[in-house]
Chains A and B, each alone.
Chain A
Amino acid sequence: MPPIYKLITCLVALVGDLSLITTGELNPLIYIPGSLMFVGYYRAIKGLPQAHRYLTGTLSTVVLLLFFFDAFYLSRDIIVGVSHMSILFHTLKSFDIKDPWDPLQVFFMSLIQLLLASELTRSLAFGAVFLLFIVLIVFAIFYSHLMKEGVPTVRPFLRPLFSIMGIVVLLTAIFFVSTPRLRGSLIGVGLSRGIRSGFSESIKLGGLEEVKLDPTVVMRVTVKPMGRPFIQGNPLYLRGSTFELYREDTWIDLDRAFQTSSRKYRAGPGGIVFSDARRDLYQEVVLEPLDSELLFYTGTPVMLQSEAGEVYLTEDGALSLPRKRSKRFRYIIYTTTDPRPVKGPLMEYLQLPGGLRRVKALAEEVAGGTSEPMQKAHSVEAYLRQNYTYSLNPSRVDRSVSPVEDFLFNTRRGYCEYYATAMVLMLRTLGIPARLVTGYLAVEYNQYGNYYIVRQRDAHTWVEAAVDGLWLTFDPTPSTAEEISRSDLLLFLDFLKMKWQRYVVGFSSYDQRRIAGLLARPIRFGFKAPAGRPDLRWVVYPVPVLFTAVLLIYLMRRHRLPPVSRFFFEIRRSLGGEPSITGTELLQQLPPSHPLFGELREFVLLYHRLRFSPRRDEDLFRRYEALYRSLRKALRGRSPSPEVPEERYTRNQGQQV
């Protein structure tokens, strides 16, 4: 077995291990025995004696026993246990590379590792490892073929090898896109290991501190304006749900808790249509697995396109799926930027817990003498923004009062929940219906992909108040959040991650349908048939199909002639010669006085030399080709071309004849 084959085997094993390591799910202790693989392959490449089969057999049994211990007691995870075991087997095998069959076992083991890794991770690193694996595995099994044929070197096969690598990558992409997807599993329960974050129908004041420190990406949102101006990169309020009832320091979403005003919408041909309002914004959201069924958006929803067959939308605008999703979810939502009109009774938005006299007094003081609800709301918002300090650690000063009162009168420090709660309660004490809105405030904009990166720490609460018949948004939280400054490289990497998550990890049957639609109608026409005339745009579609078919037939012709014969046959046909006559006979048919006789004689002479010579002379061929072109032009009624490389040909002819 040549050392290069052992080296490739080592690399395939390494990539297999790497695919598991990049998941970050393994016990770091496994790296110690895993790294012994290098010693094994070093010995194999150097041709040193390999381990005795009794030794490898015994150690394999030990590894198997270790697997049971690991899977059921140590890691308590079968997949992680199998991953550990595969790394150990790789190490063992590296000391036992004797027969040509051994590398094939290593390749197979690496393939299993790749499958295990695909279950343990969704990261972009998997994509990089996967590409590396394709290149190596193609090389490795190609080399196995050569080994079987007894060919010692791969050098003569480099061109087909690289072509095959390219075709494998291309076909992998095609198969990936076209393989049918099922919406559910056939057998068993899926092992989902996605990111989860909390978003429930009740929130206790002060419970968001941990979330506000979490940099995990929750979603990526692409926004495109559809008529109305929109400034990309400006903060974007992505609403989730609204809370109406405040009791015992806890906000409760009555609609979600009791399913009171939520209405079910089913998907139609183009998606789920909520209203016929104007579509101002297009938002494409890739939502990570969340411990919530909520869908986030900005504005008022008009239409939703997604895999979901049905959704629920409350009067407050909380959009949700029938159940929580354990997988990444992508949806496109069209919204209008017009404020929601106030509908129905507003009693629940004026609900107040008892004992808020000081709050009411403060609200009245802040509102001053104005009677306009809009003025009052703006005054309260401005007061809170200007007189309180943003803090993620608002320690309580007086535990005998409610957290809101403690925030308003004692600590004067807090984060969005405190601000929003305080404003809602203050507005309610002033008789203005208000509600708390939770969601995310997207502030991180990636200019490489033109999308917002939304993290857990962007979780936000703000206020909606019923003013002048409309629900208007107020945000009393001062914008003291730290400046987001990320390097271009990190932003670019995030862009790659988004594309990976969107087009690979999150590829769905919905995408398949879109691609199928695109393939069926690849050309979008900017014109329409005149009224009363038939629409002939479809005529364009068969053209590329026919062109491709003709090209394929031409390329795959069974008896495609080499150029030497083809040139001669063409000239013979042009001169009206029968297919059965030879070059000499063709020449005999032409009188010597014919203006083309000289050229034709040389052409026929060269044809004989090139056609029946075992080796092709390039100079002769160039001359032959030049004569062919010249004759062809002349036979079409043009003058013979003077551009014949005479000099070099004559010199070489002198040497060769």
Chain B
Amino acid sequence: MRIEPTREGKRFLLALLVVGFTSLNTGNNLMYLTFSMMAALFVISLVAGFLNLKSLQTALQVDEPIFAGQSKEILLSVKNRKWFTSYSIRFLLEGITREGLYIAKVPPGNVTRINQRVLFQKRGVYEMRYAIVQTSFPFIFFRFRQKAPLSAGTRGTTLRVVVYPRLLDIERVFGTAILTEEQRGRLLQTEGEEVHSLRQYRPGDHWRAIHWKSTAKRGDLMVKEFVVDEPERVTVVLDNSLCKEEEAFEKAVSLSASLLYEAVQRGYSVRLITSSKAFPFGSGMEHLWRMLDCLAVLRSPRPFEAVPPMEEREILFLVLPDEKTFLGHLIPRAERVFYASDI
């Protein structure tokens, strides 16, 4: 445990020494009385602050997934294993919150929980083994700090929070939908085997597609939508080989993540190709998180060793930080080329 005297504490200590010496010198018992009171305040400040932080066990839970720029709720649980209450404690979570989380009191034997919305500014992996527990209770003379292991975190003894790249509202950014109506239409159809969702009846829909149960329930004609047997494939190629400008690079990463997110949400079979790593086609959220994990930590530019071959039916999105690229040969093939510097 680290004990740091505050500015007030240093001055008080100086005053205590002066009054102590004066009392000793004069032998004035009333001065001794004042000195004793000051000494009592000083000692209580030390002892109470020290005991206040003893035997606290902390656990942190974060509501995942987390995207940069989004505020998410974090839940801090504190267990007091002493026989007396701890008061006025601040938990500093380095890199997550600047002010920390403040708990007024933690009764003995109990678990006290506190939640707070926290804004994660940057993508990346936040690893925490400890929370810094801090208090200056009961007075303002000392600041006590100690590391409290996050023993019951979400991922074992070390809390590992992956913050995915910032998601962009692509349609708002680019003014048009990334996926055309035709592309969207190709995604779902009213015939097939695997039911994806229900929607309102549109003229032209086959009567066999009507879902009678929900129609009866809603009083409106509802039809079943089926997933296409072979979903369309989307490839997002992010050229991170040359970009040296951080801002443009971050935008490119965000844009790639947003494209992947939207495509997976729409049921496409998606893959991501970067100079560091290339993913095979896949669908579903698990596949998306794997790709986003990669984008969350994507850092230094590395040259492309080889670009996997493109297929006929796939929709290719090319994300380039700027106009300099080794992937110029893919531009004619791409459905759309995004320049991060334009965002």
Residues of A within 8 A of B (CB): 104, 108, 111, 114-115, 117-119, 121-122, 126, 130, 133-134, 137-138, 141-142, 144-146, 148-151, 156-157, 160-161, 164, 167-169, 171-176, 179-188, 190-191, 327, 504-507, 555-560, 562
Q: Determine whether the beta carbon of A141 is less than 8 Å from that of B140.
A: yes
Q: Which residue of B lies closest to A560 (CB)?
A: B83
Contact among A145, A150, A181 with B102 in the assembled complex (CB-CB below 8 Å): A150
In the assembly, what is the distance between CA of A114 and CA of B24, in Å?
17
B29 interfacial contact with A, CB 8 Å: yes
Q: Determine whether the beta carbon of B34 is less than 8 Å from that of A108.
A: no
With A182-B24, A560-B83 known to touch, is A172 a contact of B29 (CB < 8 Å)?
no
In the assembly, what is the distance between CA of A479 and CA of B8, in Å?
64
B1 interfacial contact with A, CB 8 Å: no
* Most A CB within 10 A of own CB, among B11, B19, B26: B26
In the assembly, what is the distance between CA of A557 and CA of B85, in Å?
14
Q: Determine whether the beta carbon of A555 is less than 8 Å from that of B31.
A: no
Q: Determine whether the beta carbon of A556 is less than 8 Å from that of B83.
A: yes
Q: Determine whether the beta carbon of B32 is less than 8 Å from that of A176.
A: yes
Contact among A148, A172, A556 with B140 in the assembled complex (CB-CB below 8 Å): A148
Contact among B82, B90, B105, B136 with A156 in the assembled complex (CB-CB below 8 Å): B105
Q: How far is the CB of A139 from chain B (nearest CB, A)?
A: 11
Q: Which residue of B lies closest to A179 (CB)?
A: B32
Chain B 25-56 interface residues, beta-carbon cutoff 8 Å to A: 25-41, 43-44, 48, 55
Q: Which residue of A lies closest to B99 (CB)?
A: A150
Other A-B contacts than A114-B34, A118-B31, 15 sampled, CB-CB below 8 A, are A115-B22, A145-B88, A145-B139, A146-B88, A148-B140, A157-B87, A164-B138, A171-B36, A171-B40, A172-B39, A175-B35, A175-B39, A180-B24, A187-B25, A327-B27
* Most B CB within 10 A of own CB, among A118, A142, A168, A188: A118
B287 interfacial contact with A, CB 8 Å: no
Inside 8 A of A182's CB, which chain B residues have their CB?
24-25, 27
Q: Determine whether the beta carbon of B138 is less than 8 Å from that of A111.
A: no
With A138-B41, A156-B104 known to touch, is A505 a contact of B139 (CB < 8 Å)?
no
Q: Determine whether the beta carbon of B34 is less than 8 Å from that of A115.
A: yes
Q: How far is the CB of A352 from chain B (nearest CB, A)?
A: 48
**Would you give 13 A-B contacts (Cβ < 8 Å), ordered by A?**
A114-B34, A118-B30, A118-B33, A145-B140, A156-B104, A157-B87, A157-B104, A176-B33, A179-B39, A183-B27, A185-B27, A190-B26, A558-B82
- Chain A contact residues: over half helix, strand or loop, or mixed? helix
Q: Determine whether the beta carbon of A168 is less than 8 Å from that of B55.
A: no
With A145-B136, A148-B136 known to touch, is A172 a contact of B85 (CB < 8 Å)?
no
Inside 8 A of A141's CB, which chain B residues have their CB?
41, 139-140
In the assembly, what is the distance between CA of A111 and CA of B33, in Å?
12
Q: Which residue of B lies closest to A123 (CB)?
A: B30
Inside 8 A of A167's CB, which chain B residues have their CB?
40, 44
In the assembly, what is the distance between CA of A148 and CA of B25, in Å?
36
With A104-B8, A179-B36 known to touch, is A119 a contact of B28 (CB < 8 Å)?
yes
With A115-B34, A179-B36 known to touch, is A506 a contact of B140 (CB < 8 Å)?
no
Chain B 67-120 interface residues, beta-carbon cutoff 8 Å to A: 81-83, 85, 87-88, 90, 102, 104-105, 109
Contact among A144, A172, A506 with B33 in the assembled complex (CB-CB below 8 Å): A172
Contact among A114, A150, A172, A555 with B83 in the assembled complex (CB-CB below 8 Å): A555
With A119-B31, A149-B102, A562-B109 known to touch, is A157 a contact of B88 (CB < 8 Å)?
yes
Inside 8 A of A169's CB, which chain B residues have their CB?
40
Q: How far is the CB of B292 from chain A (nearest CB, A)?
A: 33
Q: How far is the CB of B194 from chain A (nearest CB, A)?
A: 40
* Most A CB within 10 A of own CB, among B8, B29, B35: B29
Q: Determine whether the beta carbon of B30 is less than 8 Å from that of A122.
A: yes
Q: How far is the CB of A22 from chain B (nearest CB, A)?
A: 12
Q: How far is the CB of B91 from chain A (nearest CB, A)?
A: 12
Inside 8 A of A506's CB, which chain B residues have their CB?
29
Q: How far is the CB of B268 from chain A (nearest CB, A)?
A: 42
B15 interfacial contact with A, CB 8 Å: yes
Q: Determine whether the beta carbon of B8 is less than 8 Å from that of A149.
A: no
Contact among B26, B38, B81 with A559 in the assembled complex (CB-CB below 8 Å): B81
Q: How far is the CB of A328 from chain B (nearest CB, A)?
A: 9
B144 interfacial contact with A, CB 8 Å: no
Inside 8 A of A148's CB, which chain B residues have their CB?
136, 140
Inside 8 A of A134's CB, which chain B residues have their CB?
37
Inside 8 A of A171's CB, which chain B residues have their CB?
36, 39-40, 43-44
With A108-B15, A138-B41, A180-B24 known to touch, is A164 a contact of B48 (CB < 8 Å)?
yes
With A138-B41, A142-B138, A156-B104 known to touch, is A172 a contact of B36 (CB < 8 Å)?
yes
Contact among A181, A185, A190, A504 with B30 in the assembled complex (CB-CB below 8 Å): A504
In the assembly, what is the distance between CA of A156 and CA of B48, in Å?
17
Inside 8 A of B23's CB, which chain A residues have their CB?
179
Q: How far is the CB of B40 from chain A (nearest CB, A)?
A: 4
